[in-house]
């Protein structure tokens, strides 16, 4: 029986460097550096860390001329497409485009006059660089705040579509849009409204989500709700802390919904009195030993005699663990009862074998 799949909303396709966004392109994961951009060495180092973690597009803040001055070096050294995040100064946007960035993000609430936007558009058109219209609840235009009383979902969408019209009037259509709030409910509703009124690709995120578990939960609920509804083309999890964690969480959100076709999706039980092994240690060791696996594989590691065999049978491969041995399953078939001391090594070996086979099959396709 075929697994359920999310039916994604059809959108226009744009490119950030060589990475496609929207249309029939896979969902992508973005993050943002948290170094001072003017410190080129630190920024490049963090970009490399993000690349290794699976990030596909990276945004850098360009808040002063010192940052703009080193952008060309950063772009040249980066393994990822660079998006310049611009506020207040159209001149910094022009400098970023001159430096060779692959995308520009502007906020209509603070970039200035339409003439300033025209200058950005002309430079972006000349270089074939897309523009992301980024609307945040914390920096909405004054007239919209007066009209709606606060940054409501309707206000965020009106702001975004106002800017879309400005760009379209200037003959610019390589547009990506984001509407974000720190409220999960308002972020979800704003994106629903926007998705019903435009075919441009949408960048999803819950802004200022916070740190640790609270930030992860807000992001997973907000982004996940929209993705389930087929809304969204690229995502960024905004957490206070290491941006690599943002990428890790974003990839797990996509994997949980079957929207990321790589890496291992581990199915493991929460444990209870029936569990007779240290399941947490086993799962952690398995995760470490298979971190470099590229193929999408569902792997069940279960310590429960009630649900264990069933979950392991449904996964591509899995184990149901007892006190001294466990059942090993592969593609729905029970392969035997294996001593516990050998079972993890066997599981890792078979996962790596399946990964090699899938990678080889993909190579032959191309």
Angle made by CA atoms 1, 310, 7, in degrees to the nearest 5: 35
Structure tokens at 69: 């001055």
* Residue 216 CA, distance from chain mean position: 13
In contact, 56 and 25? CB cutoff 8 Å: no
To the nearest 10 degrees (0 to 180), the angle between helices 153-169 and 114-127 is 60
111 CB neighbour count, 10 Å cutoff? 19
Residue 269 assigned as binding residue: yes
- Rounded-to-integer distance, Cα 317 and Cα 296, Å: 12
- List residues bridging with 59 in a β-sheet: 32, 83
Residue 304 assigned as binding residue: yes
Place of tokens 């398995």: 286
- Rounded-to-integer distance, Cα 156 and Cα 335, Å: 55
> Which residues are annotated as part of the binding site for [4Fe-4S] cluster?
269, 272, 304, 311
Annotated binding site: 269, 272, 304, 311
């Amino acid at each position: 029986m075929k697994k359920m799949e999310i039916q994604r909303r059809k959108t226009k396709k744009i490119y950030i460097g060589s990475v496609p966004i929207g249309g029939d392109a896979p969902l992508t994961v973005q993050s943002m550096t948290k170094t001072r951009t003017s410190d080129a060495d630190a920024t490049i180092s963090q970009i490399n860390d993000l690349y290794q973690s699976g990030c596909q597009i990276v945004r850098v803040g360009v808040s002063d001329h010192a940052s703009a001055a080193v952008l060309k070096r950063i772009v040249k050294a980066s393994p990822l497409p660079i998006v310049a995040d611009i506020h207040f100064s159209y001149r910094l946007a022009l400098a970023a485009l001159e430096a060779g960035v692959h995308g520009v993000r502007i906020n209509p609430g603070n970039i200035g006059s339409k003439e300033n936007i025209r200058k950005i558009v002309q430079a972006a058109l000349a270089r074939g660089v897309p523009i992301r219209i980024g609307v945040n609840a914390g920096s909405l235009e004054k007239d919209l705040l007066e009209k709606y009383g606060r940054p409501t979902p309707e206000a965020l969408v009106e702001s975004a579509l106002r800017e879309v019209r400005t760009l379209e009037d200037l003959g610019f259509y390589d547009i990506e849009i984001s509407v974000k709030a720190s409220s999960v409910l308002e972020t979800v509703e704003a994106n629903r409204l926007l998705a019903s009124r435009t075919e441009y690709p949408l960048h999803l995120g819950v802004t200022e989500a916070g740190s640790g578990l609270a930030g992860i939960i807000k992001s997973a609920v907000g982004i996940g709700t929209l993705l389930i509804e087929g809304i969204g083309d690229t995502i960024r999890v905004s957490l206070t802390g290491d941006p690599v964690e943002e990428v890790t969480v974003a990839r797990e959100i996509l994997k949980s919904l079957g929207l990321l076709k790589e890496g291992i999706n581990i199915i493991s039980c929460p444990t209870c009195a029936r569990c007779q092994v240290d399941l947490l240690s086993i799962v952690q060791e398995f995760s470490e030993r298979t971190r470099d696996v590229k193929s999408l594989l569902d792997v069940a590691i279960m310590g429960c005699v009630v649900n264990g065999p069933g979950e392991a049978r449904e996964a591509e491969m899995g184990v149901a663990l007892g006190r001294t041995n466990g059942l090993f399953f592969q593609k729905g078939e029970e392969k035997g009862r294996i001593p516990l001391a050998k079972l993890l090594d066997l599981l890792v070996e078979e996962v790596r074998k399946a990964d090699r086979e899938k990678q080889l099959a993909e190579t032959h396709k191309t």
